[in-house]
Amino acid sequence: MTDPYLLTPGPLTTSTTVKAAMQQDWGSWDNDFNAMTADICRRLLDYANAQTSHACVPIQGSGTFAVEAALGTLIAPQRSTLVLINGAYGKRLASLLDRIGRPYEVIDTGDTAPPDPQLVAQRLRDNPTIGYVAVIHCETSSGILNPIDAIADVVAAEGRELIIDSMSAFGAIPVDAQQTPFLALVSSANKCFEGVPGFGFILARRDALEASAGRCHSLALDLHDQWHYMQKTGQWRYTPPTHVVAAFLQALQEHANEGGVAGRLARYRANADTLIAGMRQRGFNTLLDDRWLSPIITTFLSPTHPAFDFSRFYAELKELGFIIYPGKLTEVESFRIGNIGHLDTSVIEQLLLAVDTALANLGVDNCQPAIAS
């Protein structure tokens, strides 16, 4: 029995060669392992054209650990952060600030609309105590792609600092630190770079990192100390997820072989186009307007047909070899299908046939939602 395809935004389906890279054990202090970490950091900075301005600091744990490390270390405690929310991950930024006791305010545009850069600029002009703006790049709960370039422009124009949670976008959506100024960009191993879960990383401006000594609320998540120790010794401060790091280096090599960010984006876009066209042909509607759909993940409204039941639909698809993702929205019934991971349009075509089988087994012959989007 082969593994099911994970049509989820991470952990996701990885290549057999990425999995095979985890067969070797590494000493966390050994030069060969340290060279892998350095190589990874160099490549990640290259992808964002950030070698001269930023440092790459990896941190153990899932993506949220890296976000908490970035917020806790880089934000000066007395300055407020404006959090741009349009879904669950934006809300998580606000909860993190809440938990670590940092002042913040929010602009919440709901589940289906991006933040308006002009309103952000207005808020910054109105409130000089705001020092930072935090934004999600691709809000994975709906799939919406936020306009971070335009946001970065207004944040820079108002003399503030930008923190980007690019967890589910970096590696597939181009970012250039010289064009899109940011204090920090946070991502993780198990999303668009197609590694396995175990660590996140932060591209942080060097001057800000240097100025952040002693600020973090947490010992284990202190980004400054991690960076400092790594500079001095080449090693992670505490035990690194060695096998995950080895797999990630292999994943980065495969990313480069595919043509880097442009190659990966082209494959994800083809996946998304095939998925959306196929689902619409079957009567499903997307949550978002076309102009906000991302190539990363797509949210579909649940059919109102009385025989449609998400947990049964999920189980039928799983039986056929596909794991999809429940919705994360509060207002409407929905589910999500990821376009990322080691899979191409031939897998999406197979998934669409599996959707037909699942719907037939459920007895659903009409996939219209309650409200058309």
Ligand X SMILES: *Cc1c(COP(=O)(O)O)cnc(C)c1O
> Between the CA of residue 274 and those of 25, 169, 268, 351, what are the distances in Å?
40, 19, 10, 10
Bond before 11 cis per omega within 30 degrees: yes
Q: Does 9 bind ligand X (CB under 6 A)?
A: yes
Task: State the nearest-atom distance from the C-beta of 92 to ligand X, in Å.
Answer: 7
Name which position in 47, 89, 182, 201 contacts ligand X (CB under 6 A).
89
Which structure tokens are listed for 267? Answer: 């494959």
Residues 144-183 that bind ligand X (CB under 6 A): 165, 167-168
Q: Indicate left, alpha or beta for 289 from its phi (over 0: left) and psi (-120 to 50: alpha).
A: beta
Q: Does 188 bind ligand X (CB under 6 A)?
A: yes
Residue among 117, 264, 271, 269 nearest 191 (CA): 264
Q: What is the rounded distance in angstroms from the CA atom of residue 151 to the CA atom of residue 126?
A: 16
**DSSP per-residue letters across 34-91:** HHHHHHHHHHHHHHTT-TTTEEEEEEESSHHHHHHHHHHHHS-TTSEEEEEESSHHHH
Task: State the nearest-atom distance from the C-beta of 104 to ligand X, in Å.
Answer: 17
Q: What is the rounded distance in angstroms from the CA atom of residue 146 to the CA atom of residue 140?
A: 11
Task: State the nearest-atom distance from the C-beta of 86 to ligand X, in Å.
Answer: 11
Name which position in 8, 10, 112, 209 contacts ligand X (CB under 6 A).
10
Residues 306, 300 contacting (CB under 8 angstroms): no
Which structure tokens are listed for 169? Answer: 């976008």
In the bound state with ligand X, the residue whose beta carbon lies nearer, of 9 and 369, is 9
Residues 132-151 that bind ligand X (CB under 6 A): 136, 140
Interaction pattern, residues 215-254, with ligand X; x per rule: CB under 6 A: ----------------------------------------
Name which position in 15, 49, 62, 80 contacts ligand X (CB under 6 A).
62
Q: Does 53 bind ligand X (CB under 6 A)?
A: no
Q: Does 111 bind ligand X (CB under 6 A)?
A: no
Residue among 90, 122, 117 nearest 106 (CA): 90
Q: Does 64 bind ligand X (CB under 6 A)?
A: yes
Task: State the nearest-atom distance from the C-beta of 294 to ligand X, in Å.
Answer: 11
**SS3 of residue 197 by DSSP:** coil
Task: State the nearest-atom distance from the C-beta of 9 to ligand X, in Å.
Answer: 6
- Quick one: which segment of 58-66, 207-215, 269-277, 310-318 binds ligand X (CB under 6 A)? 58-66
Q: Does 192 bind ligand X (CB under 6 A)?
A: no
Name which position in 63, 198, 295, 338 contacts ligand X (CB under 6 A).
63
In the bound state with ligand X, the residue whose beta carbon lies nearer, of 69 and 154, is 69
Closest residue to ligand X, Cβ-based?
63
Element holding 256 (H helix, E strand):
helix 242-257
Contacts with ligand X: how many residues (CB under 6 A)? 12
Amino acid at 370: A
**SS3 of residue 218 by DSSP:** coil
In the bound state with ligand X, the residue whose beta carbon lies nearer, of 37 and 140, is 140
Q: Does 327 bind ligand X (CB under 6 A)?
A: no
- Quick one: which segment of 60-68, 119-127, 320-328, 338-346 binds ligand X (CB under 6 A)? 60-68
In the bound state with ligand X, the residue whose beta carbon lies nearer, of 33 and 325, is 325
**SS3 of residue 188 by DSSP:** strand
Q: What is the rounded distance in angstroms from the CA atom of residue 138 to the CA atom of residue 144?
A: 6
Amino acid at 221: L
Residues 295, 271 contacting (CB under 8 angstroms): yes
In the bound state with ligand X, the residue whose beta carbon lies nearer, of 171 and 278, is 171
Contacting residues toward ligand X, per CB under 6 A: 9-10, 62-64, 89, 136, 140, 165, 167-168, 188
